[in-house]
Structure 1
Amino acid sequence: MKLRSAYKILGVIPARYASTRLPGKVLADICGKPMIRHVYERALRALCLTELVVATDDRRVFEAVHAFAGDGAAVMTSPDHPNGSSRAAEVLERKNKEGRDLDAVINIQGDEPLLDPAMIDEVAEALFSGPDVVCSTLCRPLEAEGDRSNPNAVKVVLGLDGDALYFSRSSIPYPRSTPRIPVYEHIGLYGYRSGFLRRYAELPMTPLAETESLEQLKILEHGYRLRVAVTRCGGAGPSVDTAEDLDAVRRMLERTKNP
């Protein structure tokens, strides 16, 4: 699917400075570049995006992005957004007021410095896989047995149509009987049709989303379908949530530079 010519798709990288577990991580140095630059440069290599911006509420992040990517690459947004999708919705509204008339938005995590840009294209392909699909995301098989009970590895179960049935930090599905089916780990990239993103940002929070602390459950609880594609890409590096993750990414990139 040649998405670049068929649709106008905005890539948004929400980037908060005040991360709870690792404050300032988006500007943390990784092999001579701030982490947000690694994410931005990888996302630029996706084939589907018409435009790419970093959305932040912190002047330090804005100025850092402006320094390496120039005018228009960063957008200052409200500090009151509850999540990245809400922040992306603000950027979409601004772009549409400027006459961009965008078809879709891909929400790209700002703490994935080893992101495979092909995954962004996979999210877009899933989003436009049918006229009734309004949002999409990715998953991959969860191989390590220990990760099945790890609450930081978010699991997803799928229906026969490829739409999400449920997301959880618990191990799902429970292997009561054989044959065992694959366990899938959710990958936090999201694609939204423009009209749905505006609607989604205004929906009230829901009990399951609050209980599991998983934003995407709000979509399901309000009765919308979420298309999930199993990625064809190999394993990227870890997302950066802790100082240990940051060190691991630095080591991986150093090995790539010095094989």
Structure 2
Amino acid sequence: MPDLATGPLDADTRAAVVRLAGRIEAEDGAPPLSDQTLTHLGSDDVQHVTARSAGTVAGYAQRGDEGAEIAAEPSAVDDLLDAVLAPGLLIWSHGRRSRLVAALEKRDLQRARELHQLRRPLDTVPEDPPLADRIEVRAFRPGADHAAWLAVNAAAFASHPEQGSWTEADLQARIDEPWFDAAGFLLAERDGELLGYHWTKVHPDGVGEVYVLGIAPAAQGLGLGKALLIRGLRHLSDRGCPDVLLYVDGDNPAAIGLYERAGFTSYDLDVQWRVS
């Protein structure tokens, strides 16, 4: 049985958690911890639980106000679940092969949300759709565009459990990541007003990602979703990415339809489980 400890993580433990997550991703086919969780490894605003076996980090759980994520060797999964599960809590399993699925089903947790991973090759990309009158697309400017982007992001994802609540600290944490590339963070604006954006990402293995695609409510109906999507795909193709992935909620048929029309097909599934 592993030894559990709660409390902030020192630098060595944070590095060990990142290495553990990398090994699990290689074995299970999907990263066990989201970007949001990884950026909070050093935060005092969440609960950290570490499992050690023979002095080595064998598992890690992070719990926020409502949700939790776990990265663990099989021997530590149940102990970490016991440590964080509480009525009403939401917990993620990432990928159909996640080692958490069997343990969560055994505890009779209910599926509360499905997040589909779609993919498509980038060997061909359609021509850029035309933009509505006076709309221009440019690259994000770190610092100068923060306030405008946060406002549009909050409005575009007002009902989204995670994305819509991003803060300046959340944005800056992503900008500080090694993968951040302002040239791949596309903003659409008209007369200086931000209307939408497509933030792309390139993974270490070269696969591209539609990281976030958001349109201001007032700009719906202008065709910006498709226009920004295709321009972002072209950027990733020009970067040499062979394929591109994205995540979309199962209860968002409009977004799923947009992506399917752009050539995306189902690849994997993340599930959020609710403790009754």
Alignment TM-score, normalising by the size of structure 1: 0.28
Structure ranking higher in strand proportion:
2
Bigger Rg, structure 1 or 2 = 2
